[in-house]
Amino acid sequence: MYLILFECCFGPPLPIGSFLEKITPFQLSAYSRAYDFALLPLSLLVGYGVDAIRQPLRTRGHNYARAFILLLFGYVCLAPVSGWMKEITYVQIGDPVWMLPLAALIVIVIAGIIPLNTTGRGIIGVLLVLLVFAETFAWNQSFVPYLTRRKVTDVVAVKQDGHAIPITNFRETDPICNRFQYSLRFAMNGVDPAHLADVRNLLSGPPREGDGLRGVKDFEPTQKNLRGNLLFKRSFWLARQYVAGALPGKREYFPSTTTVFLENPVDIALPGAQRQDLTLSSISENAQVTDIAAPENLFAPIPGGQKRMLTFTADLPEAVPGLPAGPAGAVHSALVYTFKSDTNAQIDVTFTMPGTDRSQMGIQHLVRPTRDREIQLEVPLPDFPHFNAQMVVENKGSGSFAFTKIQIKSDLNDEDGLIQILSRTANTARVKVGPLPEPRILTFLDAWYPGWLAYVDGKEAPILRANEQFKAVVLPAGTHEVHFVFKPTLTFAALTISLVTLGLSLILLIICWFLRLPGASNSGPDTFSIEISFDDTRAGACPLVEQ
């Protein structure tokens, strides 16, 4: 079991870890956790050393052999410390961190060779304990103050009271992974430590992609991956068409307000679309366009080698004309900018919502010279009805860079206003949808796995696998109440089997207790006899009996 757990920590390419990742949906490998299991052989080694101070072995040769083994292991453990001391610069450490364990090793070796009485060995034991604590003290003189200086400083204050799962339809990025969970705020990133590996791969962005990684940093789903502000910023979407197959790439656009990607073609009353026919934009063709014309320095040329910060303020419509405002807070929109460049440049955008602690990055663009042509790029926006935008342009060459037009496009096909989230818990979500003019697919961007059930107007409905790893249900025209609930049959069955097995085991123990053999006693015999026979032909030899 120790070897299995050790391999699972390291994961691929070790065989057991690789096999486990193939047969389960979880990304379990975490190299740092391997130390938890490495403590077992280290503890056995400590026990071997402590056993050496109890008493010498039977022969001097055995004592010397044990001393040699202890010295060998001591060297293996102590030699790396001298190399670490040269590399550790963030804390001040001195020679006691290696001299004290060396002294403890010498004490163990001497006590394992020299015969000592009970008092002497007791003194050696106390001395060894003091040396171990002294080594810990020597490290902590610098390490503990270092940890206190590096204590977590919240970028966003943790909510202290009024904790309730929100019924809004937006997700944020958590500056400190999993910190939002203490305030019950929905976040795109985090999902650590036991998460679905495929879900993490959808959220992650370069350079933190692939196996062996755990949490998702705040910049990954938005700055390095289009899908954050394009799709994962909401829990629920209404789609009017579907495409059979996987999601587009992490830097490929598609109209998320109208389109969902299903695992397989399905026979439903919605039109199927071909991937190549989709609009290569995060906004559908039915859009409202707003020009950003101020401040004027937005369009000033940026000379070669300079880095400039540009800021502006804008508003997003809170509702599509003819629909009520939705729980997302704003209509799905994108920042679209056009530019000319004679150089290579990097463009980063950050959005903040005034009066709140909400802040989110936009997709990062790296541009090349356009050869006097105007190029248009797009940045999907978070659902901030009012926001401040901060654009940082770094000119990496000798030519100039300049924006020629900046616009905001808002998708008028966004039907978030037809979604009303009634309630949410850890294992349930109740949503009212409608009135729908035509059939729609309601996508619930919560991980798909066995045990989830969906009910539409009280009747169970099939759950479709949508956007690779999430859930969806088909809704006919009209107004409907949809209830998602997690009822893990396998978990309940396993719990039942465990309880039944435990109960039967207790019953069996009780029966065995009452059905003990008559006359059985816990005490042993008062006397014993040993009979030894010698097969010897010498005169006078006879059996020996001792009572």
Per-residue model confidence as pLDDT tens for the chain (547 residues): 667 777 777 777 778 777 877 777 666 666 666 667 677 777 777 776 677 667 777 788 888 888 888 888 888 888 888 777 777 777 788 888 888 888 988 888 888 888 888 888 888 888 888 988 898 898 888 888 877 776 666 777 777 777 889 999 999 999 888 888 888 899 998 765 445 778 888 999 888 887 667 788 999 999 999 999 999 999 999 999 999 999 999 999 999 999 999 988 888 888 889 999 999 999 999 999 999 998 989 999 999 999 999 999 999 999 999 999 999 999 999 999 999 999 999 999 999 999 999 999 999 999 999 988 999 999 999 999 999 999 999 999 989 999 999 999 999 999 999 999 999 998 999 999 999 999 999 999 998 888 899 999 999 999 999 999 999 999 999 999 999 999 988 878 888 999 999 999 999 999 988 887 565 555 555 555 555 555 555 544 444 444 4
Model confidence pTM above 0.75: no
Does residue 235 belong to any structural domain of this protein?
no
Domain closes at, from 106, 129, 149? 149
Range of the domain at 476: 420-486
Do both 436 and 390 map to the same domain?
no
Helix and strand numbers (H, E) in the chain are 10, 22
Concatenating the DSSP letter of every residue in 402-417 gives EEEEEEEEEETT--GG
Do both 143 and 7 map to the same domain?
yes
What is the C-alpha separation between 14 and 165, in angstroms, rounded? 41
Does residue 93 belong to any structural domain of this protein?
yes
Does residue 547 belong to any structural domain of this protein?
no
What is the C-alpha separation between 122 and 519, in angstroms, rounded? 45
Spatial neighbors of 115 by CB under 8 A, at least 6 apart, are: 56
Does residue 233 belong to any structural domain of this protein?
no
Do both 342 and 394 map to the same domain?
yes
Does residue 262 belong to any structural domain of this protein?
no
DSSP-derived letter for residue 458 is T
What is the C-alpha separation between 301 and 403, in angstroms, rounded? 8
Does residue 403 belong to any structural domain of this protein?
yes
Does residue 362 belong to any structural domain of this protein?
yes
The CATH number for 372's domain is 2.60.120.200
Do both 440 and 389 map to the same domain?
no
Domain closes at, from 486, 505, 526? 486
What is the C-alpha separation between 110 and 4, in angstroms, rounded? 38
Half-sphere exposure of 466 (CA within 13 A, CB side): 25
Do both 434 and 405 map to the same domain?
no
Do both 393 and 431 map to the same domain?
no
Do both 14 and 141 map to the same domain?
yes
Do both 405 and 424 map to the same domain?
no
The structural domain count of the chain equals 3
Does residue 261 belong to any structural domain of this protein?
no
Domain closes at, from 369, 384, 412? 412
Do both 384 and 459 map to the same domain?
no
Do both 331 and 460 map to the same domain?
no
Do both 405 and 475 map to the same domain?
no
Do both 6 and 105 map to the same domain?
yes
